[in-house]
Amino acid sequence: MKRSITLALLLLLIVGVLAGCGRKKEATPEAVSPEAGLPASAMEIASSRGLSPEDINAALKTYMPSGKWDEYIMFASGGHSGQVLAIGLPSMRILKNIAVFTPEAWQGYGFGAKDIEEMLDAGNVDGRKIRMGDTHHPALSETEGDYDGQFLFINDKANARTAVIDLRDFETKQILKDPNIISNHGSTFVTPNTEYVIQGTQYATPLGWEYAPISEYQEKYRGVITLWKFDRDKGRLDPEQSFSIEVPPYWQDLCDAGKLVSNGWAFCNSINTEMATGGIEKGNPPFEAGVSQRDMDYLHIFNWQRAEEAYKAGKTEEINGMPVIRMDTAVAEGILYFAPEPKSPHGVDVTPDGKYIVAAGKLDPQVTIYSMEKIEKAIADQNWEPDPFGLPVLNFDAVNHAQVELGLGPLHTQFDNQGFAYTSLFLDSAIAKWKVGGDNPEDWVLVEKLPVQYNVGHIAAAEGDTVDPDGTYLVALNKWAVDRFAPVGPLLPQNLQLLDLTGDKLQVIYDMAMGVGEPHYAQIIKADKIQAWNTYPEVGWDPIAQAPSPYATKPGEEKIVRDGNNVEIFMTSVRSHLTPEHVEIKEGDHVTWHITNIETAHDATHGFQLGGYNISLSIEPGETVSFEIDADKSGTYAFYCTEFCSALHLEMMGYLLVEP
Ligand code: RUQ
Ligand code: CUA
């Protein structure tokens, strides 16, 4: 509704201005000037639609004239859709839905394309084909603690996997399975120069998810924090240079890497230091009660640089092919410390200057702030008590710097460039704005609270977790939408709300219904930091290898090659034909089929579907894609281009003739 108001209002404004200055073909319409004010027609629309001055402001702040580009791109997790969404800000237009862990037919992802199938299969578990996922926390690659616009990482909580997306083409390039854990959560978070992508376990299991009765929870169940080494030149995580740190079965939660003064350190929360094992059906306290008994859980503080040294010095044990720093080594090498943190901690976020670490406990109305300086002093002073595993728990008062009471259910914190922090309040359904103070704990105070609709989980601010936040926009990723949109049945869209951070007061300026879910974290980058390709660099490109494909086919060189029962097809696509158009094979043939889109024009993508064979491809300009089929039954099939690429697109087809 608001969107159509925005459009109507702005259309009228533009039409009014155009009418005044005379229409020229390529002239940009003149902007309204403050002296002239809004045209009377705009005021009429506003009053007939009952728009308040705030509504008009919001509309003007978010409307993007046709052809103009958004200032920011937000990468939002698509949750258990297994995808990542790229959304333009401030318009909140969905630009792309990037397939990651789940098949997606439009992008030709997981419907035959051979190297995509191989990549998806690399994420299989115990030989089982896994084609679902639960994406939570996207992380943009960073250089010196700032987004560099090159790569995006995303975790799959359900299967403990990590994926790499290349932002030259916004496509997934790699999926990696952690060999020791079955679910992750504190991932993905990058170190300031993307040396490593951090991944923490969520639910503890015996390593390698082997069987062990739950009665052996304390002895046998464990978590790990894995440091996946990133090879920027290859654009891949390198398992050969990656390692894990063993941690107690405390259910590690979100993480964040230190920066500037805290560079080298990283922080992960935990929620089940009770080591509760549930069993409501056996008369035991259910997990929800068992996990929330203690007043304090442990913030995990680990030094990834020291861990890297220990790994390189061979102080690891290989478990399921992964080098693991065991807990006793972590203690001996000064790698891992704990700090108590109140009441079911969830989010942990490092301030832009790297000096403070903000933890939010879901059942505590305040955020708890630790100072890196105090943590380092407590470590130097050995101001700690051991936990049941012998790991040092730092004295809370020695490391706690301040606490700020914000409201009910604080979860996640982001930052602006004016010295303020923003924390989502799940139970209050609000965003709290508070002052990031300095040495004096009294200076850390709540400034303002704004209701959002409803049950906000994560929030993302423009460049809001870098060393240099922008302070322009913040998006509340709400868990419930309830009454915000026209009814679409019992499964509701997610409600992403855009907030303007630049005014005297916080204001919600856009409600975006996101038709997939459930989004968790998002990151918002200045759009001009991303240098995406318009077309692939060369005709005959393999996007997974990001190199010329050995199966590239030039026009005039299309062919069908037979070798016994193996048939290889080299096909080209260009407006408006596929060559060859007759693919004549025999029942029982195994077919390897390569298609090269020989177009070099911007946006000249050809799709390809072969009905009856579950094949769906998207072949972008310059791309070569391969797939294989077994022609096990004679018949006549049609294949065709699925993108309406030209006036004669319907004619862009061919027949697969399988002779008995
Ligand atoms: S976690 S709110 Cu992964 Cu906060 Cu979703
Ligand atoms: Cu190519 Cu339609």
Q: CA angle 476-482-486, nearest 5°? A: 105
> Which secondary structure element, helix H or strand E, spans residue 332, and what is its range?
helix 327-332
Q: Which is more confidently placed, 38 or 352?
A: 352
Asked if residue 601 and residue 494 are part of one domain, the reply reads no
Within a domain: 317: yes
User: Ligand nearest 654 Cα, by number?
Assistant: 2
Contact present, 186 and 252 (Cβ < 8 Å): yes
Compute the distance between CA of residue 471 and CA of residue 527 in angstroms, rounded to an integer. Answer: 15
Atom index in ligand 1 nearest the CA of residue 185 equals 3
**Is the Cβ–Cβ distance between 655 and 636 less than 8 Å?**
yes
Residues 285 and 388 in one domain: yes
Residue 31 has what pLDDT?
A: 79
pLDDT at 35: 84
CB atoms within 10 A of CB 588: 13
- 513, 654: one domain: no
The verdict on 496 and 601 lying in the same domain is no
Ligand nearest to the CA of 599: 2
Measured from the CA of 137, which atom of ligand 1 is nearest? Answer: 3
Q: Please give the backbone phi and psi of residue 532, each rounded to the nearest 5 degrees, phi first.
A: -85, 150
Q: In terms of domains, do 285 and 166 share one?
A: yes
CATH of the domain at 250: 2.130.10.10
Testing ligand 1's pocket by substitution, the residue of 199, 520, 523 carrying the most ligand atoms inside 8 A of its CB is 520
Burial class of residue 382 in the structure, from the number of CB atoms within 10 Å of its CB (0-12 exposed, 13-18 middle, 19+ buried):
exposed
Are 425 and 548 in the same domain?
Answer: no
- Scanning 340-499, the segments in alpha helix (DSSP H) are 372-380, 396-399
Counting ligand 1 atoms within 8 A of each CB, the residue from 184, 256, 271, 458 with the most, and so the one to mutate, is 458
Residue 125 counted as domain residue:
no
DSSP for 214-233, written as a single string: GGGHHHHEEEEEEEEEEETT
Dist. CA 579 → ligand 2 center (Å): 13
pLDDT over threshold 60, residue 4: no
Percent of the chain with pLDDT over 70: 96
Do both 178 and 299 map to the same domain? yes
What's the pLDDT tens digit per position in 8-53?
444 444 433 333 343 445 556 677 888 887 888 999 999 999 999 9
Does residue 124 form part of some domain?
no
Looking at the domain assignment, is residue 194 inside a domain? yes
65, part of any domain = no
Residue 535 in any domain: the answer is: no
Print the domain residue range for 19.
Answer: 2-51
Is 64 part of any domain? no
Q: Which of 529, 560, 587 is the endpoint of a domain?
A: 529
Same domain, 435 and 502: yes
Are the CB atoms for 519 and 74 separated by under 8 Å? no
Q: How many domains does the chain have?
A: 3
Based on the domain organization, do 555 and 502 belong to the same domain?
no
Question: Which of 497, 508, 254, 249 minimizes the C-alpha distance to 362?
Answer: 254
In this structure, are strands 582-586 and 577-579 parallel, antiparallel, or unpaired? unpaired
Give residue-wise pLDDT tens across range 218-255: 999 999 999 999 999 999 999 999 999 999 999 999 99
CATH number at residue 569: 2.60.40.420
Q: Which of 460, 495, 529 is the last residue of a domain?
A: 529
Give yes or no: residues 559 and 615 share one domain.
yes
- List Cα–Cα distances, 182 to 202, 223, 517, 530, in angstroms: 9, 10, 22, 33
Looking at the domain assignment, is residue 557 inside a domain? yes
Q: Indicate left, alpha or beta for 112 from its phi (over 0: left) and psi (-120 to 50: alpha).
A: left
Question: pLDDT for 425-484, tens place per residue?
Answer: 999 999 999 999 999 999 999 999 999 999 999 999 999 999 999 999 999 999 999 999
Instruction: Calculate the dihedral angle through the C-alpha atoms of 151, 157, 162, 168, rounding to the nearest 10 degrees.
Output: -30
pLDDT at 19: 39
pLDDT at 649 over 50: yes
Angstrom distance (rounded) from CA 186 to CA 180: 15
Q: Domain check: are 545 and 525 in the same one?
A: no
Question: CB 120: neighbour CB atoms within 10 A?
Answer: 23
Q: Give the global pTM.
A: 0.94
Is residue 24 domain-shared with residue 141, that is, in the same domain? Answer: no
Q: Whose CA is nearest to atom 3 of ligand 1?
A: 136
- The per-residue pLDDT for 27 is 59
